[in-house]
Structure formats: C-alpha cells, structure tokens
C-alpha cells in the first residue's frame, strides 16, 4: 500500500469544498489594511498561543496568560512546563527565519526535536535530536510504529513526500497527510507530537500562507486545540492507511485550518482590528487601573499610526517636550511602549508583552478566536 498516495475524493465531498475555500483565503492574505507592524506583533502573540496549545495537548497545564508573562523575576530556575513552551517558541522562530522555499531535511527534523526536548525531564528524550534506536508503542493506540531498524528509511520516504511539489489545490491535503504519516512512523522515543506540529507549521508556511512581511498570524497548531479527543480519533482513523480513514483525517485538518483562517483574516481589516479588538482592550486596561486617561489615548494613537515620534503623542500628553518625554519613558519602562527600529525617538506598541498581551488574549477569547482548549484559562 502506497502510504503517500493522495486519497480519492468524490467531487461533492466536504474536503473538495474546503480545499477551494482555503485557496480563496490564501489569495486574500496580505490584501487587508492592517499595518505590517501590527501583523508582526499579532504573529508573535499567536505563536505564544500555538506553543501553549502544542504543549497542552501533551498535558502541560501552563495557562496562556502565564506563558505571556513568563517566569517571575524571583524564580531561581525556569519551570519545566514553561521551558517546554519556550522550547517550542524557539523552534517556531527558527522556522520563521528560514527561507519559505527551504526543503525539509533529516537534519532539520532532528533539530526541531533537539530544540523541543532540550532540558526537559518528564517530556524530554534520552537522545535529543536523534531518531529512536528502540521499538516503541503508542499509549492508548492500536497502531504499532515501524521497527527502529526502518526509521531512517521510512523518514527518507517521508521527506521525499513532504518536499514533493504539488498543485495549489492539493497542498493542504499534502500537509495533512504529512502530519499523520510522521506520527505513524513515530521517529523519536518522545516528542513526536510536538515535532509533527512544527513540521506541519513548516510545510503550511512554505505553501504560501504568508503575509507580505513574511509572517503569518495563523498557525495550524490551533486546529489541534479545537478538540483534543477528536484530533486523536481522526488521526487513529487514518492509521490503517485506508482511503476512507485518510479522507476523514484530511477533512478534520482542512476544516480546522479553514475555520481558523476565517477568523484570523478579519484581523487584516484595520477598522475591525481597531474597533473590535484594540479599542476594547484599551478600555478594559483603563477600567482595571493599568492605564490612566492620558496613557489610554497615547496607546490608541500608537495603535492607529503603528510607529510614532514623541511629538505625535502631544494630544495625549499636552505638556511641553520635557513632560512628554517623562510620560513616554514611563510607558516604555512598564512595557506599554517599545522603541521602534526607525530610530531612538520612535515608538511602537508590543502586543505580546506581559502587560498588554493578557488583556488582548482575553478579548480574543470573547470574540471566539481561541480554541476550546484555551477558553477556560483564567486571567488573574
């Protein structure tokens, strides 16, 4: 049986309809009015969400709010749960830095694994960055992965498939099959789920789901956070490599990516982002005592303009230049503003910092942007 043959699908299958819809979304990426700086900041925030989801699937209970805040300053050492999330963030940054056309290789997959399990005990691996040299079983699964003797050759076949050029309308199915077949091989003793989601992120990025600034706000890991049980059940349905099981898995995957893109492409609309997300976030921060009236106005100006000079904040801080500099410095020290690349006297806002980020995530939750897996996290 050719495990890498694309499944046969009836024309009226939901998978066909989803494939067409995904192509429409891909064509619309980058056509919005949201400033590139905000796209970059949103990308950074959603990468944190994705790392929490990937770790949560494996049992990590760190909340998204704790992940944004990071370990407190008096922590003698980073907790293993937080380190697992930071490892995933580092691997995602590596992927973002790679050319989109870069091929997937043995060494790259092994590096994903090394980074993922680095410094971990409970969720670590005795041989980081190396394929397994023992046979394994998957807990609560009827599937038995191939013997370790065949792992390298199985992975060679997998990489040939993962790097295979396919027409645009088949690419999401291509990514879905690759995700399952990687887990079917189970090339590492531990960390396979986390690495498979990184591989999926790598492939979907390479397949053109990128913004003009080279970054995406969507990460397919969010798909797997919608329903952990359904995720595993859909994967298991494809373990026999049958056409029907593969179609079921691909449909689950494509529907999740479709729903996520449908929500997230709204963020390309600057008016929607300002009205439904940023303005309510500022209002809630003011009500919580995080911002005073002047700071609220200043932050709104920065959100509207993207990058500002001190003089652009005169309406918020109407005193002289000296008083304005003091107020801006205070906002920078609290993490409300950060210095922009344009120069030392230019400022922008960070959406994923420990001050603004938790309030922004809370607003996204109210709008239905978070997968169910994260919806019970509490903002203290």
Active site residue 113: no
Could you give the angle at which helices 106-117 and 80-97 cross, rounded to 10 degrees? 150
Among 43, 174, 179, 186, the one annotated catalytic: 186
Residue 232 known to bind ligand: yes
CB atoms within 10 A of CB 329: 12
Dihedral pair phi/psi, residue 347, rounded to 5°: -135, 150
Q: What is the DSSP letter of 265?
A: G
The alpha carbon dihedral of 210, 37, 54, 79 has a sign of: positive
DSSP notation for 253-273: HHHHHHHHHHHHGGGG-HHHI
Give the whole-angstrom CA distance, residue 267 versus residue 8: 35
DSSP-derived 3-state class of residue 127: coil
The answer to whether the Cα torsion of 19, 38, 366, 301 is positive or negative is negative
Q: Where are the extended beta strands (E) located within 157-314?
A: 308-309
- Residues annotated as catalytic (active site), given as ranges: 186
Which residues does the annotation place in the binding site? 231-232
Which residues does the annotation place in the binding site for ATP? 231-232
């Amino acid at each position: 049986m050719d495990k890498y043959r694309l499944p046969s699908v009836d024309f009226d299958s939901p998978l066909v309809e989803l494939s067409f819809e995904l192509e429409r979304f891909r064509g619309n990426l980058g056509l919005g009015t949201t400033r590139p700086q905000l796209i970059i900041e949103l990308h950074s925030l959603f990468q944190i969400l994705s790392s929490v989801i990937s770790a949560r699937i494996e049992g990590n209970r760190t909340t998204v709010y704790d992940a944004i805040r990071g370990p407190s300053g008096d922590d003698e050492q980073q907790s293993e749960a937080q380190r697992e999330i930071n490892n995933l963030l580092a691997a995602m940054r590596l992927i973002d830095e790679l050319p989109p056309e870069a091929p997937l290789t043995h060494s790259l997959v092994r590096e994903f694994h090394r980074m993922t399990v680095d410094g971990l005990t409970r969720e670590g691996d005795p041989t980081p960055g190396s394929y397994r040299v023992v046979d394994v079983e998957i807990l609560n699964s009827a599937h038995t992965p191939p013997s370790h003797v065949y792992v390298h050759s199985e992975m060679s076949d997998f990489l040939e498939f993962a790097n295979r050029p396919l027409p645009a309308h088949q690419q999401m199915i291509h990514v879905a099959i690759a995700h399952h077949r990687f887990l079917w091989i189970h090339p590492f003793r531990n960390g396979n789920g986390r690495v498979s989601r990184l591989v999926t992120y790598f492939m979907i990025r390479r397949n053109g789901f990128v913004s003009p600034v080279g970054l995406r706000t969507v990460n397919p890991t969010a798909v797997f956070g919608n329903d952990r049980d359904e995720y595993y059940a859909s994967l298991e349905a494809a373990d026999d490599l049958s056409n029907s099981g593969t179609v079921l898995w691909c449909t689950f995957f494509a529907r999740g990516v479709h729903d996520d893109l449908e929500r997230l492409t709204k963020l390309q609309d600057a008016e929607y982002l300002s009205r439904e997300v940023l303005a309510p976030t500022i209002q809630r921060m003011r009500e919580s005592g995080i911002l005073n009236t002047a700071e609220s106005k200043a932050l709104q100006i920065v959100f509207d303009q993207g990058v500002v000079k001190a003089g652009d904040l005169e309406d918020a801080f109407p005193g002289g230049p000296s008083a304005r500099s003091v107020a801006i410095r205070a906002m920078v020290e609290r993490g409300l503003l950060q210095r922009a690349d344009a120069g030392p006297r230019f400022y922008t806002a960070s959406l994923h910092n420990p001050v603004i980020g938790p309030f922004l995530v809370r607003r996204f939750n109210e709008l239905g942007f978070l997968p169910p897996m994260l919806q019970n996290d509490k903002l203290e």
